[in-house]
Amino acid sequence: MDTYGIEPADMGAAPSVARLLLELRGRTSVDVRPSGRSLQVRPKDSNVIAVHIHPGGIDLALDQDRANEVALSIEGAYVRDDEPVTQVSVEAYLIDANYDALLAAAVEAVEQRAAAKATKAAAAPRARATSTGTRAAAKPKAAAKPAPRPEPARCPKCRQYELLASGECPSGYC
């Protein structure tokens, strides 16, 4: 963990987190990226975060239905659904007490995020193929560009200031 610039003393439950990361890597293929004082665990070759490990604890990105079940199975866990992705949060001091359930939920979070990415990737080519194959689905017209604003009038003597609404130079010297 020191290789990411995070000292073990900085993380509330560093030995548990290190063990969690090692076992998570053994069960599924993940990328671990540092982000400040936290670590982001993502499915291999993906940009979506499945597990966020920070000094305050661990956040797991899960589906809404599954997040509620996981939060009930882990003592002290709670669901945060105010973000685009529903997350189950576990405080750092509760990691040791709920280690096995937390590891299983972390594996599930990585697999769910990988499956969601695969589903999106599979649906995208079909949508493009159907829209290019028909004439009715021609390219949409580009939005009309607004007319350019005229250049504001400048003082004919100093050519430095824009003229006031009264037509006078704001410097007062011209």
Full set of structural domains in the chain with CATH: 2-121 (3.90.1150.20)
| Per-residue pLDDT, 138 | 59
Under the banding of pLDDT at 50, 70 and 90, the label for residue 2 is very low
d(Cα 105, Cα 73) in Å, to the nearest integer? 10
| Per-residue pLDDT, 82 | 74
Is it the case that residue 3 has pLDDT exceeding 50?
A: no
Is it the case that residue 164 has pLDDT exceeding 70?
A: yes
Percent of the chain predicted with pLDDT > 70: 79
Is it the case that residue 7 has pLDDT exceeding 70?
A: no
Percent of the chain predicted with pLDDT > 90: 19
Contact 31, 41 (CB under 8 A): yes
Of the ranges 58-62, 70-74, 105-109, 137-141, which one carries the lowest mean pLDDT score? Answer: 137-141
The enclosing H or E element of 87 equals strand 87-91
* Nearest partner of 7 among 30, 34, 31, judged by Cα: 34
CA distances from 22 to 1, 82, 107, 138, 173 (A): 11, 30, 12, 51, 75
pTM for this entry: 0.60
The single residue listed with the structure tokens 């669901």 is 79
Of the ranges 18-32, 127-141, 143-157, which one carries the lowest mean pLDDT score? Answer: 127-141
Return the half-sphere exposure (C-beta side, CA atoms, 13 A cut-off) of residue 150. 4
User: Which is higher by pLDDT, 44 or 123?
Assistant: 44
